[in-house]
Structure 1
Amino acid sequence: MSIAEKIKRSWWILLSFIFMLNGFGFVYAGFKNNNWKWVIEGVIYEIPWLFSFFYANTDLLNIYIRFALVLMLISIIRSIWLAIKLADVYDNEEKYSVRPTVINNHNNPKRNDNSLTNVGCCLCLIVIFTVFALVAIL
């Protein structure tokens, strides 16, 4: 696989470097690769930012911001590490691909499993626009 193709498949890493959006890259990568652990990890990276909105006028704000910045640094390191692992998978797709077995399943209709990915992407965009709207209002 060419370097341009790898970059095209790994654009989500840039979200880790963006303030308050660092977890959405993991959510996207988790939905794209059908890995719920990455989705949960992305949500965990976003939780302190959400709490900082709720506790904006309290003494807890500094604690949440510091905790969120530490998690942001961790998410940057983790996203680079994950991108390296995924690049290996992209290079060896034949090795990691699941080969279909020959079974008599002509009576079973083929199911489209993209609906969950589409819902996840829509929810991610809704959350991003909601955060931007909250920041613009405040």
Structure 2
Amino acid sequence: MGCVTLCRLLWPMLKTSRGHVVNVIGGAARTPDAGYLIGGSVNAAMHNFTKGLSGLGKRDGVNVNAIHPGITETDRVAQLLAQRAAAGGRSVEDERQAYLQREGLSRMGRPEDVAALAVFLTSESARHIQGTAIAVDGGRTPGLY
């Protein structure tokens, strides 16, 4: 896990600069899926790491938080939609609309949606936010936290 190594190596500098750590973690950390057990387990481990590290951050003046992006308009998602569309014999747009309807979403997330939260979490305005994981998923993720 590269973020664990990075945090370990950069922690002295983060302490000195009162820096920020924002881990981007898949939403399967919160919503187990029988078809995605390995990925979900890794996501849950990263969520646990983030929460644990935030305790050190509180002590050392480093903000540590996480973002759980939902499905976001990226090249990877475009490839997945194309694969599913081809497998189902329909257009990519039909596959996209079927997904949105199934999930009750009006649109997919955009990279700017995730970036805006990351910028906020690394600002002075977010200094009192510590050890939190925030979903940017249009309300898709069920659950209480």
Q: Which has the larger share of strand?
A: 2
Q: Which has the larger share of helix?
A: 1
Q: TM-score if structure 2 supplies the norm length?
A: 0.29
Q: TM-score if structure 1 supplies the norm length?
A: 0.30
Higher relative contact order (CA 8 A, sep 6+): 2
